[in-house]
Copies of this chain bind each other. A is one copy, B any other.
Amino acid sequence: MKDKIVELSMGGGGRKMDELIEFIRSHFSLQQVKDGVGIESLDDGATFPTPKESELVLTTDGHTVDPIFFTGGNIGSLAIAGTINDVCVMGAKPTAMTSALIIEEGFKMSDLSLILKSMADMCQELNVPIIAGDTKVMPKGTIDKIAIVTTGFGVIEGKAIYDSGAKPGDKVITTGPIGDHGVALLAHREGLNLQTELKSDVAPVYSLIKSVIETGKVTAMKDPTRGGLSGVLNEFASKSEVSIWINEENVPIRPAVVAVSEILGLDPYHISCEGKAIMTVKPESAEEILQMLKNHPLGKDAAIIGEVKEEKPGYVIIETSIGGHRILEKPIGEPIPRVC
């Protein structure tokens, strides 16, 4: 029998990746520390009790993006923002990071410097130090330029926010337009000439969501990276055992993202974002939280895009602008490879 192989689509945030992760996870019987959130939850990060009863968060992310420099950021800013965002959307205050670089022999020092500067600037802005690191150099041709693996650590000061916390009646909020990152990278890589400039939305969301977390009214939260909005909503629906109903007219999407998606036959709901958070919130606090978000530069296009219901648990349903419905499934694989 021929050996099964790892396929490119298995790295893509969709169902194919779920299979690979399940395959990987199935090898391990230890998956958490005491009652903390462990790898079995497939949440953004892991938590573990300290010896003295406070909860800490640990999360890791490998970054293998192509191109490594793009409009709006580079692999370095992506590595910091991506990992810190995973810490934040668990409801934690980011406290420390580690960074492991894997660099191709012959990589330009000046390019490395640009990447490191972006990382350092973002760490400074967040006031989060990288407290441990590792550097490997691989021979030419054995790694494409550079990969960066960052691990983030945080402390939960209030209560942790899990994917499983959405309740019927909750409102669904996005902190901004979706699909920018994936389409910006694709446009850059393919040399597409867009009428309007489209930048990646790479950014740390901590300053945006900090006060929102403190309201205690956020029931579930996730950053829509691989798998996009669709990936996030499907995680909420299945882990919270609810359905999510999205009003298509209210979902903010930039015209350039719509245009590129139409040309290339992509579903914008499947496209990777960075620097965004999707949350479910208590209905009575939805308007207040929306205003808090809109008052922040990163959240000026925030919108209430839907509602959590009890019926049809596990499903994400799009209510279209012409009054129809469609089921939004998780993408099979990442429609745009190597965007994070």
Q: Give me the interface of A with B, judged by CB distance under 8 Å.
A: 3-12, 17, 20-21, 23-25, 27-33, 36-39, 45-46, 48, 50-54, 56, 58-64, 66, 95-96, 98-110, 112-113, 116-117, 119-120, 123-124, 127-139, 141-144, 147, 149, 151, 153, 155, 337-338
Contacts and interface: CB of A to CB of B under 8 A. Distances in A.
Contacts of A113: 23, 27
Nearest to A31: B129
So how many copies of this chain end up in the complex?
Answer: 2
Contact of A50 (B56, B105, B147): B56
A6 B130 CA distance: 22
B5 A117 contact: no
B6 A48 contact: no
B6 A131 contact: no
Contacts of A147: 102, 136, 138, 143, 147
B131 A33 contact: yes
A5 B111 CA distance: 9
A48 B321 CA distance: 52
B143 A100 contact: no
Contact of A134 (B30, B60, B123): B60
A17 to B, nearest CB: 7
Given A39-B131, A59-B98, A61-B100, A139 B52 contact: no
Nearest to A42: B133
Given A30-B128, A143-B147, A147-B143, A62 B105 contact: no
12 contacts: A5-B109, A6-B103, A11-B135, A32-B129, A33-B131, A38-B131, A39-B129, A39-B130, A50-B155, A62-B102, A62-B136, A141-B144
Given A10-B135, A138-B338, 6 more contacts: A6-B107, A39-B130, A46-B131, A56-B56, A58-B151, A141-B144
A220 to B, nearest CB: 18
Given A30-B124, A106-B5, A98 B131 contact: no
A27 B133 CA distance: 13
A67 B59 CA distance: 28
A160 to B, nearest CB: 13
A109 B96 CA distance: 34
Contacts of A112: 6, 23-24
Contacts of A10: 135, 137
A48 B120 contact: no
Contacts of A50: 50, 52, 54, 56, 155
B60 A132 contact: yes
A330 to B, nearest CB: 16
Nearest to A147: B102
A24 B339 CA distance: 24
A38 B143 contact: no
A183 B53 CA distance: 46
Given A46-B132, A131-B32, A106 B6 contact: yes
Given A28-B120, A127-B30, A128-B30, A23 B109 contact: yes
A162 to B, nearest CB: 14
